[in-house]
Amino acid sequence: MKIFSYVLGAIVLISASGAASAQDAMEGAVLYERHCATCHGLDAKGGGPMAGVLLVPPADLTRLAASEEGGNFPLLRVVRRIDGRDPLVAHGSPMPVYGDFFEGDDTAMKTASGQPLLTSRPVADLVTYLKEIQQ
């Protein structure tokens, strides 16, 4: 019985640590710099070096919450835009153009209403970073 308790405890700890690390803003910042800053800029305000060649100017990602009624971060919309469920026609393909990199290794996030949202770990990390930089 004691061994069972230790095994169960270990499983809970492993699960909890996996869930906590699934939304890592520091990793999200690295992903942002690598995959998003080219268009949205290092400051995430939409002025990256490729912004001028896009049909629709990149959004100011620091103002996503401010643009919503009530000032709530639009988690569902942002996740769907990044993972391709809500493609942005201006990109000519799902955003980001890095496609497959942001797939797999599913993790759950919760919307403001508490609704679970399944997405990939890289998307969860990136969105967690975007939530932190809101002004």
Give mean pLDDT, residues 62-80.
Answer: 92
CA distance 4 to 117: 32
Q: What's the pLDDT score for residue 7? A: 38
Indicate the pTM of the whole model: 0.76
User: pLDDT at residue 54 above 70?
Assistant: yes
| pLDDT level of residue 123 (50, 70, 90 thresholds) | very high
Q: pLDDT tens across 82-96, in order?
A: 887 887 765 555 565
| pLDDT level of residue 128 (50, 70, 90 thresholds) | very high
Percent of the chain residues past pLDDT 90, beyond the cut: 46
Prior bond to 58 cis, omega within 30?
no
CATH class of 24-132: mainly alpha
Number of separate helices (H) and strands (E) present in the chain = 5, 2
Structure-derived torsion over alpha carbons of residues 29, 44, 46, 88, reported in degrees to the nearest 10:
50
Residue type, 64: L
Q: If you compute the radius of gyration of the chain from its CA atoms, what whole number of angstroms results?
A: 17
